[in-house]
Structure 1
Amino acid sequence: MLDTVQFECWELLMTESGTAAGVPFLAVPPEGGPRADTPVVVGWHLMDAPRSEAAFAAAVPLTGLDAWRVYLGLPRMGARLPAGGMDELMALGYEDAVGLMHGPVNAEAADEFDAALAVLRERFGARGPLGLLGGSAGAGVALEVATRRDDVAALVGVSPLVQLRPVVTTLGKLFGVDYAWGPKSDAVADRMDYVARVGELGTTPTLLVVGAQDEPSAFLEPARELVAGAAGPADLVVVEGMGHALAEEPGLEPAPQTPHAAEVDAHAVDWFRQHLGA
């Protein structure tokens, strides 16, 4: 766990932030310095804490990885929250969690990725292998992007949204909402069923990290099924004592890394080093 001095020093490493093709980003340079062949790892945060690109970078900084680490903000989150802030976003979730929140966030983030990546590669002169990182909803985005591209050299999903239906059921129980499925929401759930679509990942090396205290039916079981069906290298790590979140609330600003997040970080770094050569 970082103490105050270490955390302030870590913040100084955050060398650049801004937007790339309209997408908010925060970038951390490679440990060995920029090179043309430097790998690029792009990550998306959770809707749970940490729920912004800066907070996710603090929770999972990929310490020691010799790669550009770029953290993107999800649509409708962080700097792109609706006018009413988190209250409005939560209201949309109560109204229609699939049609107004999970479905659009996943699709819009994946749709905007190619243009953002092109800008980032040009900006940093980084032409090396591509890795993807995501937490929860952000892991769903990473999986969606990997189904669309053939150049993803490694993927790490943490507390991953692998199947939408069991996640909506779990959230419904938590918030007392009985979600009414229909043809449109069923189509979104089918698209966001990466167990059923695992063949579209090709041979992308995929690591899924799930907390032992997270809801098994919504996160652990789908992750286990995806790993079992993967054509390429795949592994599942269960972190004892960890729930769904990777940071303390409110999760909007960078905060000291928790012990569980540090364990996640170490697993992610090992996977990316193995498959990106970073």
Structure 2
Amino acid sequence: MHSPITGTAAGVPFTALPPAGGGSAPLLVTWHMLDAPRSDAAFAAALPMADLPVWRVHLGMPMCGARMVDGSVDAVLELMREDVLMSFLEPFVRQAFEEFPAALASIRLQLPVGDGPIGVLGGSLGGAVALRVLAGTDTPVFAGAVVNAAIRMRSVVDLFPGDYPYDAASEQAVNELDFVAGAGAIAARAPLLVVSGELDHPGLRADASDLVQALGKRSELLTIPGLAHPLAEEPGIESAPRLPQARAVDAGLVEWFRRHLDGGRRRRPTTP
């Protein structure tokens, strides 16, 4: 197995895993969780998808991994205390989404991934980034997947203590990050696997089911027995041994992306 490649793409840290044979291959881009595993390196270790004949490029989320302030999560916790939605959740998704086009262009220059359709994958808050890429860009995608994803941002806000004081701006923010409401745009773009842990938060599990129902035949729901929300043990910043439940997620992702990969290779991008 090839060693991970680390670098930056337009300022975004990444951990890249080459296909088994090395050389040119399609591209799968991922965004990690803010629960464990909460860095690109840790996410790559939890879900290496080693049996996929693609480059797996795991992008770092804002203020995580190599971009942590003073090497700790204290700055992130301060943003959560300030305003969990408008200072933390929404800006993280927006920044990662806005960084994506330049990061993708840089990856294509650095790695032998060609210019064909890509795969996208996101976990938890990174799932909202992957869904926004599907719903809000014209980047050709052969297949997508999300794991314990932030599908409706209102449900994520509800996980935090207290009643959130919504106003016009925050209502607009959660509505824009409601991907069940935006399922039509996603269904038109690519098939989507929705992975849901049996022990994940009930609201997130309900959203996963609602999204699959809204997407119809282009989507599948994969429930992982015994999986809570995280995919790794704390602290989740460095590479760590894989949990059995993460291995089950990995196997499901490999099967899904393999199934759609040949179709993605045949299709050519319709935009630069």
TM-score (normalised: structure 2): 0.91
Give the distance between the partners of 1:40 and 1:166, measured in 2 at CA: 31
Where do 1:8-157 residues align within 5 Å? 13-14=3-4, 16-35=5-24, 38-83=25-70, 85-127=72-114, 128-150=116-138, 151-157=140-146
State whether residues 134 and 189 of structure 2, in contact with CA within 8 Å, keep that contact through their aligned partners in structure 1.
no
Amino acid at match of 2:95: E
Give the distance between the partners of 1:192 and 1:215, measured in 2 at CA: 18
- Alpha-carbon distance change, 250 to 73 in structure 1, aligned in 2, over 3 angstroms: same
Give the distance between the partners of 1:263 and 1:188, measured in 2 at CA: 33
Instruction: Please report the RMSD computed on the Cα atoms of aligned residues, expressed in angstroms.
Output: 1.5
Q: Secondary structure at the match of 1:41?
A: strand
Query: 4+ residue stretches of structure 1 with deviation over 4 A?
Result: none
Where do 1:104-253 residues align within 5 Å? 104-127=91-114, 128-150=116-138, 151-172=140-161, 177-201=162-186, 202-217=188-203, 219-230=204-215, 233-253=218-238
- Alpha-carbon distance change, 13 to 87 in structure 1, aligned in 2, over 3 angstroms: same
State whether residues 203 and 233 of structure 1, in contact with CA within 8 Å, keep that contact through their aligned partners in structure 2.
no
Amino acid at match of 1:187: Q
Q: CA deviation at 1:231?
A: 5.3
1:276 is the counterpart of 2:264 = no
Q: Percent identity?
A: 43
Q: How many residues align?
A: 260
Q: CA deviation at 1:83?
A: 4.5
| Alignment deviations for residues 135-187 of structure 1 (CA, whole Å, 9 cap, x no partner) | 10011100001112331111110011100111111222xxxx33211111111
State whether residues 45 and 136 of structure 1, in contact with CA within 8 Å, keep that contact through their aligned partners in structure 2.
yes
Q: CA deviation at 1:63?
A: 2.0
State whether residues 129 and 276 of structure 1, in contact with CA within 8 Å, keep that contact through their aligned partners in structure 2.
no
Residue of structure 1 equivalent to 2:249: 264
Give the distance between the partners of 1:200 and 1:272, measured in 2 at CA: 20
Q: CA deviation at 1:233?
A: 1.5
Q: CA deviation at 1:232?
A: 5.5
TM-score (normalised: structure 1): 0.89
Give the distance between the partners of 1:86 and 1:240, measured in 2 at CA: 30
| Alignment deviations for residues 209-244 of structure 1 (CA, whole Å, 9 cap, x no partner) | 111111122x11111111111156200111111100
State whether residues 135 and 189 of structure 2, in contact with CA within 8 Å, keep that contact through their aligned partners in structure 1.
no
Give the distance between the partners of 1:252 and 1:63, measured in 2 at CA: 20
| Alignment deviations for residues 54-102 of structure 1 (CA, whole Å, 9 cap, x no partner) | 0000000012110000000001222222358312211210220111111
State whether residues 206 and 232 of structure 1, in contact with CA within 8 Å, keep that contact through their aligned partners in structure 2.
no
Q: Secondary structure at the match of 1:69?
A: strand
State whether residues 155 and 206 of structure 1, in contact with CA within 8 Å, keep that contact through their aligned partners in structure 2.
yes
5+ residue gaps, structure 2, are: 266-272
Amino acid at match of 1:24: P
